[in-house]
Structures are given as C-alpha cells and as structure tokens.
C-alpha cells in the first residue's frame, strides 16, 4: 500500500510502511538488485548520459551507488537525488554491458517511484504529466477523439494555416519538431476491427495470437498495426484484438507513477488472460509487459504470479515471425536500408538478429551497417520533453551514425520512429523511417500487385 496523503503529516511512518532507511514508501528499490553490483565500471562507456557528461552520477554505476546510498541513509530522497535518477534515459544499454547482470533499469524505475511519492510533480511538468499520462493514454475513447482531431487538423487545411501563422512559434521547441514530422493519421485498428472477434488467417490456421495494439501507436501509427495484422494473417495466424486491453503503462512507470502502472498492468493481464501468445510491435510496450511482475514485488503480491505467467506469453512481432517461420516475399524492394536497434528491443528483450534476418529475407533490400546501432536515439518516452538538452545531444550523436547513403532506417519501436524522423528533418537528411514489419508488408503487397503506401510525406 502506498503512503496516502493524510499520513504524510504524521512524521516518519517507517515501521508500518516497510521503509528502507531513507526510502519511506513501500515498493522501494530492490536491495537484491544492487547487491549484484561490484562497482567495476564496465557499464560506463555504454551509457549515453555518461558519454555526454563524463560525470559519474550520470552513469549506471553512479546511479546504482546513489540509489543504494539512500537505503544506507547517506542521502535523502530530494531534488538533488532526483536529477541523476531522472536524467537516465532508461535505455538499458548498461544491462547489456554489465557482467553481473545488474538490473539498473529496474532500480531506476523503483527509485523514481519513491521520488514521485516524496515530491509530486508541480508546475507545467505536473500538468503535462496529468493531461497525458493520466488523462489521455489510458483512455481509448479519448485517444480516438484525439486521432479524429489530428486527422481533421491535417485534412482540413488547419495544419497549413498553423504552420504558416506565427502560432507555431509559441509552442515548445520539441512539440514544434513533433508537429513537423507527424505521420498521416489513419483510423485506429481497434476501431476498424471493433466488431470482429478474430481476424482469420489467410489460408490454413497454424497459430492463434492476440495483438496488443498500443495506445499512441494505434492513433499515430495505425498503418503499422495494419501491416502487423496483414503479416500475421498471411503467415497463418488467427489474430484477436481483445477490446478491453489498454495502454501498457511504460510511460507511467518510467515517470515514477507505479500506481497507474499497476492499474494498467492488471487490466492488460485480465484482457489477455485467454491468449496463448501476446504479440507486440512496439519494443517499449513489449519490454514493459514482460516486466509487469516487477510492479507486484511488494504491492499487491497476489498479482505477482499472474504477471510472471503473462510475461512468458509476450513476444515481439519480429522474434515471433522469425521463430515460427514466415513466407519469404517474392517481390523486390530495391532499397538500401540500415537498422537501428531500439533500446527496448536489443537491450530490453535481447532481440537483435531477428529483425535483421527479416529485412534480409526481402529480395532487393541491401543492408548497410550502422555504427553503434544499439545506442539510444534519445526518444525514451517523454524524456524529450523533460530533458530536452540531453535528449537533443543524444539524438545528434545518433544521427551522426546513420550512414549517408541509405534510403531507409528501419526499427521496431514507434517512439524511436518519431525521434528518428525528427532527427532526419532537423539534420537535413532524407531517409525514410520505417518499421521492420511495415517493410515486410510492403513487399507482400507489392507481390500481390498492391502499391505500397508511404507513411512519411
């Protein structure tokens, strides 16, 4: 149970609240996680924020050390502690680098939970977080209305007017950049398939899968969801879209709002209870679903087992296709493509070769290696909005690694797609940013004589 507001005035309620030294709330950072850390420093160079600052408190080792120091009573949970903990991109590169398998990302999320309880967000950041995290993402109908509005915005000519007028100048820089690369908004697949229990496989049914459409994904990138369904059904999968599914909660958990995270987790676990496989095409969401059990370590432990079971069913679309086999497309797509490893796919789920193999299976595709392909692009949820300076610098070094002569950058996460599209625009590049599965779908479509559609104007 979380410490409720009325308890706050009573002074330290430590004993009843399962406190750990200066962590006053339950669900505190897990001692077992930092006990694995030997302070060896092998994670330093993997960390984008250490690379930029050179400062230990902005490194994985430093962050683990500080999180541990609060438990040891050497530090308080205050704004100084908050800075390095919230400057983390949650990119998990350190998890890959660490020889002792320290779950730095998990510790950071748990520490953020404590910080948010000790210091609720105020001011405009608080307002933004309330509007988006609580008010929007968990509510499908509101998201749909937003989708309709955005479609109206683009189609009615309003977009043109706004872009021309000075109005755009009063928006925060990041939103301006976001507006500039906004994909053409299509109706969401959840609306589209509202009345169908199962979308049948083309040909013989080999497997049955359930599909997590994602919240923002389904509004901003419903065409990728369409592609995912096409690719799944073409390869013998009956696809169901449980209607009571909701936002995965990753953004909430990254922001320290673990209560909402738990609420959403429970809803999804129930929504997918009948499924054997849960297919996800957004790396960030997939990673979150696989880690639901972490949320129930101390709070509502009766959900822990269910969450563990649920996580075994979750699979990224590229891995699923790769492991169950997929039809090699016959049409050629003559493109030079480079692949960006989304953090939550490569570091978070260990999926690296599968998407590359899918791309290589498309005739005509020429793969060009990207240096540091598994370096974070800086999107990291709402990090862009909360830490614009660091996010900008991370994006810049990412774009430096995108080979000059490629036509497409492929990846498996919508958050990265938005960020990379911003990068392409900002640095005057001309690559098309695509989802791996989309490219496969286009190849199938071409084979069937349907023209592939461009998602970025």
Residues that bind ligand SF4 (CB under 6 A): 37-43, 46-49, 60-61, 63-64, 88-94, 97-98, 100, 102, 104-105
40 contributes a contact to ligand FAD by CB under 6 A: yes
173 contributes a contact to other proteins by CB under 8 A: no
168 contributes a contact to other proteins by CB under 8 A: no
User: Which residues fall within 8 angstroms of residue 448, CB to CB, at 6 or more apart?
Assistant: none
Name the minimum Å distance from CB 276 to other proteins. Answer: 30
17 contributes a contact to ligand FAD by CB under 6 A: no
Distance of alpha carbon 233 from alpha carbon 193, whole angstroms: 14
Distance of alpha carbon 448 from alpha carbon 133, whole angstroms: 41
Distance of alpha carbon 387 from alpha carbon 243, whole angstroms: 35
75 contributes a contact to other proteins by CB under 8 A: yes
Name the minimum Å distance from CB 37 to ligand FAD. Answer: 12
44 contributes a contact to ligand FAD by CB under 6 A: no
301 contributes a contact to other proteins by CB under 8 A: no
Q: Interacting stretch for other proteins, rule CB under 8 A, among 92-100, 119-127, 190-198, 256-264?
A: 92-100
Annotate each residue in 101-140 with x if it binds other proteins (CB under 8 A) or - if it does not, as one string. Answer: xx--------------------------------------
Q: Of residues 25-64, which lie at the interface with other proteins (CB under 8 A)?
A: 35-45, 53-57, 59, 62
The answer to whether residues 338 and 402 touch, using CB atoms and an 8 Å cutoff, is yes
Burial letters for 227-266: b for 16+ Cβ neighbours within 10 Å, e otherwise?
Answer: bbbbbbbbbbbbbbbbeebbbbbbbbbbbbbbbbbbbbbb
Distance of alpha carbon 403 from alpha carbon 425, whole angstroms: 15
CA nearest neighbour of 219 among 144, 269, 122: 144
SS3 per residue for 154-206: HHCCHHHHHHHCHHHHHCCHHHHHHHHCCCCCCCCHHHHCCCCCEECCCCCCC
Q: Which does 105 bind (CB under 5 to 8 A by kind): other proteins, ligand FAD, ligand SF4, none?
A: ligand SF4
Q: For binding to ligand FAD (CB under 6 A), which residues are involved?
A: 40-42
Q: For binding to other proteins (CB under 8 A), which residues are involved?
A: 35-45, 53-57, 59, 62, 65-66, 69, 74-75, 80-81, 83-84, 87, 97-102, 387, 389-390
């Amino acid at each position: 149970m979380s410490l409720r507001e009325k308890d706050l005035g009573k002074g330290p309620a430590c004993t009843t609240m399962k406190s750990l030294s200066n962590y006053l709330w339950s669900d505190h950072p897990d001692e077992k996680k930092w006990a694995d850390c030997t302070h060896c420093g092998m994670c330093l160079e993997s960390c984008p924020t250490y690379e930029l600052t050179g400062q230990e408190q902005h490194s994985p080792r430093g962050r683990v050390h500080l999180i541990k120091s609060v438990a040891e009573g050497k530090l308080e949970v205050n704004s100084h502690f908050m800075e390095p903990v919230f400057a983390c991109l949650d990119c998990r590169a350190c998890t890959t680098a660490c020889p002792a398998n320290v779950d730095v990302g998990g510790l950071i999320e748990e520490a953020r939970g404590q910080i948010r309880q000790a210091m609720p967000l105020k001011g405009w950041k608080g307002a933004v977080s309330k509007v988006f995290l609580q008010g929007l993402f968990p509510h499908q109908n509101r998201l749909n209305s937003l989708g309709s509005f955005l479609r109206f915005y683009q189609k009615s000519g309003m977009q043109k007017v706004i872009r021309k007028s000075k109005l755009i100048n009063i928006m925060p820089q990041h939103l301006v950049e976001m507006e500039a690369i906004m994909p053409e908004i299509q109706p969401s697949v959840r609306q589209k398939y509202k009345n169908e229990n199962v979308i049948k496989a083309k040909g013989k049914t080999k497997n049955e899968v359930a599909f997590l459409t994602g919240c923002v994904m389904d509004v901003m990138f419903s065409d990728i969801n369409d592609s995912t369904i096409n690719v799944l059904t073409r390869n013998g999968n009956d696809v169901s879209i449980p209607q009571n599914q909701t936002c995965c909660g990753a953004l909430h958990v990254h922001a320290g709002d673990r209560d909402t995270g738990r609420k959403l987790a429970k809803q999804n676990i129930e929504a997918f209870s009948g499924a054997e496989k849960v297919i996800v095409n957004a790396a960030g969401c997939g990673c979150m679903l696989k880690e639901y059990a972490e949320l129930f370590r101390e709070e509502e432990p009766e959900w822990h087992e269910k969450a563990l079971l649920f996580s075994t069913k979750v699979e990224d679309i590229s891995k699923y296709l790769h492991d169950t086999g997929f039809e090699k497309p016959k049409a050629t797509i003559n493109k030079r493509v480079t692949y960006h490893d989304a953090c939550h796919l490569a570091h978070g789920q260990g999926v690296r070769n599968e998407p590359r193999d899918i791309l290589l299976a498309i005739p005509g595709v020429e793969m060009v290696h990207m240096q540091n392909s598994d370096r974070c692009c800086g999107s990291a949820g709402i990090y862009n909005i909360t830490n614009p300076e660091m996010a900008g610098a991370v994006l810049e070094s990412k774009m430096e690694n995108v080979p000059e002569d490629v036509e497409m950058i492929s990846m498996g996460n919508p958050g990265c797609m938005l960020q990379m599209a911003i990068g392409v625009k900002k640095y005057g590049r001309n690559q098309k940013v695509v989802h791996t599965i989309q490219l496969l779908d286009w190849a199938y479509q071409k084979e069937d004589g349907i023209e592939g559609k461009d998602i970025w104007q």
